[in-house]
Structure formats: structure tokens, C-alpha cells
Copies of this chain bind each other. A is one copy, B any other.
Amino acid sequence: MTAVTATTDATEPGGARVPPAIGRAQALVRPALEEAVARLSTGLRLPVEYHLGWCDPNGAPTGAPGGKFVRATLALLSAEAAGAPAEVGLPGAVAVELLHNFSLLHDDVIDHDVERRHRPTVWAVYGVGTAVIAGDALLALSHQTLLELPGPGPRAASRALAFATSALIAGEAEDMASETRTDITPDECTAIALGKTAVLLACASSIGVPLAEGDPRLAETLGDFGLNVGLAFQAVDDVLGIWGDPQVTGKPAGSDLRDRKKTLPIVAAMHAGGSASEELQELLELEALDEAQVARAASLVEACGGRDRAESEARRFLEAALEALTSAEVPGPVDAELRAVARFVVDRDA
């Protein structure tokens, strides 16, 4: 266990026990990701390597593994689920990590977020233009990684990646539009999470199957697994966005309340009705919230059942993910690892 723990992300000091599959993925994917990033033009490598946590703003190496590699881990496991060695899923793992990081770079610009993983965001360090183009470069590289490979497997994987990309972008657009809407329902929150988070996890969890030239039905089942893991992941994220430990999440307490994000617990609480729900609505209409008001809003969301709703959705989607696996014919050890990763995603505290 020591070796695996040593390679886990520094952002998870009190995190859940890291599944061995994640440690293995880090060892396999990091060098491949480095090779891909080395293909970027000089001016883009520094901001991208900084974003990935590999170096400080001036390029000095940090020695950090750079992320949890959850998506890459799922991609490798999906190749193994189809009976191939993990290496067959590697281009898919690199592609989904690149795609994920494209979306983080642009999301931070869109949301004006100045901090991510306890560090200033790329646009805050290098400017908006650099963050936009660095994101563009990762998106392009993500597709190139698969399109350069010969054979029908990579072609099917490319198509899956292109579909996930469009859905991801549509999800972000809907999320952005939701910020100015006052009539979002809890079900719409889940629909937005589908595009914003779940589609990419579905792609990650199945992309190794076409690469291994496995059964398309297996890809579908694993996609269903990943979609539910993603929905659970987002529900957990929404809980951490209010009640997460600032020391661990790297965000101020009640961050999502401060930013008036329309997340599931907040929307559910605002739809609950009653005096606590009304008080919450009034608080969230204020120009700016001080610390006491943020704390009050958080306890109102909890009192209105918003936290319970998000936590029970997380459990429900985790169960659905595990249930989906039951119907798939996946070798025992791979099945166990997929389940461990799904549980890890839901049990995390950052």
C-alpha cells in the first residue's frame, strides 16, 4: 500500500484509501501524458505543465503526480475488462485526461475561478488568452492521440471521444445558462451534471473497449456504469462545494453558496418550500454574503433537506453504477477494481 499511497495526489491528505488501480494508472499514464504534452508548441507547454501540477509558474518541477487520474484509470480498466492488457487502453486514457484538462482550463476562464487545487488558475497566472489557447491545444491533442492510430478500434474510440466532447461543451453551456436562471429544478441539476461530468466519465469507462476491439455491448454497459459514477461524482462535488473542508478542497467554506452556484443541494433546498427555504432564497438574493451569512445559508440548505437529497442521489447513482457492472461479463479482478474506483470517487473528501 505504501508505494501506491506515495503516488497519490497531495490534494487528498485525508482522502479515502486510494485503489491500487489508480496508482498503476499514474505510473503508466504520466509518461504517456508527458510525451503528448511535449508535442505542444513551446509557449503552451509551460502553462499546460503548470496546470497539470508538474511545475510552478516559472517551470520549476514540483515532483507532484499531477491529479488523481480517475478518468485514465477507468480507461485502462475498460481495456482490461475487454480482455486486453491495460496498455491497449493507454491512448484512450491519455485522450480522456487531455479532454478533461481542456475543460478545466476553459471552465476556470468562464467561471472566473482564480484558484484550483490550492493554486492560482492558468488564466490568473498567464492571462485569459493563454488559458483559452492552451485549452484549445489540449482538445486538439486529445483527438489527435486517437486519430493517429491505425485500425477500426481507434476510429470507434475517436467517435466516442468526439461525442463526449460535444456533450461536455453543451453541458458547460447549459451550466453557464443556468447561473442566470432562477427557475432551475433539482431534476435539471441532474440533467446538467449529465453533460458536465457524467458523459466524460462514461466515455472514460468505455473507451478501452473499442481500442481492445471488444464487444460494443460491453462498451455500452461500461458507459452506463461510468455515467452513473459521474452523476454520483457530481452529487458528491456539490456536497463538498458547501460542506467540504477548506483545508482539503482548497476552496473557501460554503464556496458554492458564495458564488450563487445552482447546485443540487441548493436548488433542492430552494424548492423545498416553508420558512427556512424562503429565508435561504432571501439570503441568496443579497449582493454579497459575509462569513456568518454563508454559514447560515449552509445550515438552511441542510435544514431544507438539500444535503440529504444530494447525499442520497450520490448513493443511488453509486448503486446504479455497481448494478450495471453486475450485468457485464468482466473478469473478476477488473470488476473488483472498477467497483473500488467507483466507491473511491464517492467517498472522497476533495
Query: Which residues of A line the B interface, CB within 8 A?
Result: 39-44, 106, 109-111, 128-130, 132-133, 135-137, 139-141, 143-144, 147-148, 155, 158-159, 162-163, 165-166, 169-170, 172-174, 176-177
Whether B130 lies near A176 (C-beta < 8 A) is yes
A147 and B139 alpha carbons, distance in the complex (Å): 15
Identify A106's interface contact among B39, B133, B158, CB under 8 A.
B133
A41 with B173, Cβ < 8 A, contacts A147-B158, A158-B158 known: yes
A135 to chain B, nearest CB (A): 8
Whether B133 lies near A132 (C-beta < 8 A) is no
Whether B139 lies near A163 (C-beta < 8 A) is no
Whether B144 lies near A143 (C-beta < 8 A) is no
A41 with B170, Cβ < 8 A, contacts A128-B128, A130-B176, A133-B106 known: yes
Whether B144 lies near A163 (C-beta < 8 A) is yes
Nearest B residue to A41 by beta-carbon distance?
B170
Whether B173 lies near A144 (C-beta < 8 A) is no
Chain A at the B interface: SS class: helix
Chain B residues, CB < 8 A from A110: 128-129, 132-133
A147 with B159, Cβ < 8 A, contacts A40-B170, A139-B139, A169-B137 known: yes
Chain B residues, CB < 8 A from A165: 140, 143-144
Whether B169 lies near A133 (C-beta < 8 A) is yes
Nearest B residue to A141 by beta-carbon distance?
B166
19 contacts between A and B (CB under 8 A): A39-B166, A42-B177, A43-B176, A44-B173, A106-B136, A109-B128, A129-B176, A132-B132, A133-B169, A133-B176, A136-B139, A137-B170, A137-B173, A139-B140, A140-B169, A143-B143, A143-B162, A144-B162, A147-B159
Chain B residues, CB < 8 A from A39: 166
Chain B residues, CB < 8 A from A106: 132-133, 136
